[in-house]
Amino acid sequence: MPGLTIGDTIPNIQADSTHGRISLYDYFGDSWGIIFSHPGDFTPVCTTELGMMAAKAEEFSKRGVKLVGLSCDDVQSHNEWIKDIEAFNKGKKVTYPILADPKREIFKELNMVDPDEKDPSGGAVPSRALHIIGPDKKVKLSFLYPASTGRNIEEVLRVLDSLQRATKHKVATPVNWKPGDKCVITPSVSDEQAKQMFPNGYETLELPSKKNYLRFTNV
Amino acid sequence: MPGLTIGDTIPNIQADSTHGRISLYDYFGDSWGIIFSHPGDFTPVCTTELGMMAAKAEEFSKRGVKLVGLSCDDVQSHNEWIKDIEAFNKGKKVTYPILADPKREIFKELNMVDPDEKDPSGGAVPSRALHIIGPDKKVKLSFLYPASTGRNIEEVLRVLDSLQRATKHKVATPVNWKPGDKCVITPSVSDEQAKQMFPNGYETLELPSKKNYLRFTNV
């Protein structure tokens, strides 16, 4: 199935939400954004996920990231369900909007279709997709998880920190990186440039190839 | 850009690799599989990632999961680079094959294109995509990460455990789940069925909606 992937510009979706009518471009503005889908309201994994997104709202806000949820249910259903999420989540408020897609169009446009799950009438339902959107409205990174598998919000925060650091410096983050760990200098930066760009220095690992591409630094 | 997404059957790629000529269907057989791409040999993040995949080979093997890497470099380059990976990785051997895609066709077919990175001649290069393939040759879950952001192999193992548990039992895994945590019973299972299917019992959380859909169990 064709669909939105990394590098693509997201469409400027207009939809009803728990915060009223929303245009995605206006909502995200010049910020980083996350749009994430869930198979359905009043279902178990989704309740835990949207609760955790609410609990971590401050972490997203600190990083300047705006959140928006999406499922095919209508706004009334979302509003009723939010009471369950907040109760499960010990009162932490769901402060981000959840889009309604009762015509079942938006989630297909956003490559958020679950291949195996169907609603009671046999219609397609959203997967647990999560796209990270840059300030330029392009998809920077995507998680495409099926209904069976709840996402890991710690991993979402980890990759946000990586993406934002890479945007600010000429670095990339190695496997399993977390904030505080060293980054690597990207190959497009020469050693001469690196000396100027990273005044605190960097360490070049010696490798059998004698190619000095593995350069670690703290930024 | 259109491309492979979850639910799609992977094409039966034939390609040269560090283990000789490979057909993906023959290689995966009836096993679970992972195909993961990297932007290029002799580049920093990739060296840390392929090293970690090698270090965790036993974890993948325990789960019956076959690994295969992919980049556009040729087999000779892969073989030279493996010496660097193994040196960086304190001698742990790269035991999985790495496919060569010098004609730059396979990675496009597999939705593994990095939107922002180019090789020195301006050609497209692979992203850090990782697809988990079920025994039915369908994509079950995908990570689409850009060149800047090394993957998290612990998250890959976590979702494998979730997918395999969900295949075996009628359960799904809540947000941030890890093995040992409780699972949730899927909504398609009635309370009557649940009593029989989960003889160790389950706990139903009380919610404002009075809909008893949040049922936790150990499997």
Co-location of A44 and A114 in the same domain = yes
Alpha-carbon gap, residue A26 to A30, rounded angstroms: 9
Residues A31 and A135 reside in one and the same domain: yes
Q: CB–CB of A163 and B149 under 8 A?
A: yes
- Considering CB atoms only, which of A1, A47, A174 is closest to B48? A174
Residue B1 has pLDDT above 70, yes or no: no
Average pLDDT, chain A: 95
- Tell me which of A71-75, A80-84, B112-116, B170-174 is least confident: B112-116
**Residue of B139, B148, B217 to mutate, interface with A, max A Cβ within 10 Å:** B148
Q: Which of B83, B149, B174 sits opposite A150 (nearest CB)?
A: B174
Lowest mean pLDDT among A8-12, A167-171, B52-56, B121-125: B121-125
Give the range of the structural domain holding residue A139, as residue numbers without chain letter. 14-151
Q: Are residues B190 and B127 in the same domain?
A: no
CA angle B157, B162, B164 (to 5 degrees): 95
Instruction: Select from A33, A3, A96, A16 the least CA-distant residue to B7.
Output: A3
- Give the one of B2, B116, B205 whose C-beta lies nearest to A2's C-beta: B2
Catalytic entry in B4, B10, B22, B46: B46
pLDDT at B206: 95
The radius of gyration of chain B's CA atoms, rounded to the nearest angstrom, is 20
Does residue B193 fall inside a structural domain? Answer: yes
Based on the fold, state whether residues A122 and A174 are members of the same structural domain: no
Indicate if A181 and A80 belong to the same structural domain. Answer: no
Q: Are strands B171-172 and B124-126 parallel, antiparallel or unpaired?
A: unpaired
pLDDT tens per residue across span B160-194: 999 999 999 989 999 999 999 999 999 999 999 99
Q: Bridge partners of B40? A: none
Asked whether residue A48 falls in the same domain as residue A114, the answer is yes
Interior angle at CA B112, CA A169 and CA B161, nearest 5: 95
Residue B2 located in a structural domain: no
> Does residue A76 have a pLDDT over 90?
yes
Residue of A nearest to B215 (CA): A44
Task: Report yes or no on B189 lying in a domain.
Answer: yes
Domain containing residue A182: CATH number = 3.30.1020.10
Asked whether residue B142 is assigned to any structural domain, the reply reads: yes
What is the ipTM metric for this complex? 0.95
Judge whether B30 lies within some domain.
Answer: yes
Residues A146 and A180 in one domain: no
pLDDT tens per residue across span B110-147:
999 998 888 888 889 999 999 999 999 999 999 999 99
Residue B163 lies in a domain: no
Rounded mean pLDDT, A130-155: 97
More confident residue, A121 or A178: A178
Together in a domain, B118 and B144: yes
Q: Which residues of B touch A172 (CB under 8 A)?
A: 44-45, 147-150
DSSP A48-92: HHHHHHHHTHHHHHHTTEEEEEEESS-HHHHHHHHHHHHHHTTT-
Residue A162 is assigned to a structural domain of this protein: no
Instruction: Say yes or no: B46 and B124 in one domain.
Output: yes
Sequence letter at residue B21: R
Sequence-distant (≥ 6) Cβ neighbours of residue A185 within 8 angstroms: A170, A171, A194, A198, A202, A215, A216, A217, B44
Same domain, B47 and B121: yes
Q: What pLDDT is stored for residue A193 in this prediction?
A: 95
Q: What is the CATH number of the domain that holds A84?
A: 3.40.30.10
| Residue B46 annotated in active site | yes
Chosen for mutation from A5, A82, A189 (greatest number of chain B CBs closer than 10 Å) is A5
Q: Is residue A7 included in any domain, yes or no?
A: no
Least confident of A12-26, A101-115, A132-146: A101-115
Q: Is the dihedral of CA B206, B207, B209, B215 positive or negative?
A: negative
Both B67 and B145 in one domain: the answer is yes
- The reply to whether B94 and B186 lie within a common domain is no
Residues from chain B that touch A146, judged by Cβ atoms under 8 A, are: 6, 140-141, 163
Q: How many domains does chain A have?
A: 2
Between chains, do B51 and A175 touch, taking CB under 8 Å as contact? yes
- Report the mean per-residue pLDDT for chain B: 95
Chain B residues whose beta carbon lies within 8 Å of the beta carbon of residue A140: 146
Last residue of a domain, one of B107, B125, B151: B151
Chain-chain contact of B51 with A173 (C-beta, under 8 angstroms) = no
Amino acid, single-letter form, for residue A40: G
Task: Tell me how far CA of residue A159 lies from CA of A7, A8, A153, A178, in angstroms.
Answer: 16, 18, 10, 9
Q: Does B83 touch chain A (CB under 8 A)?
A: yes
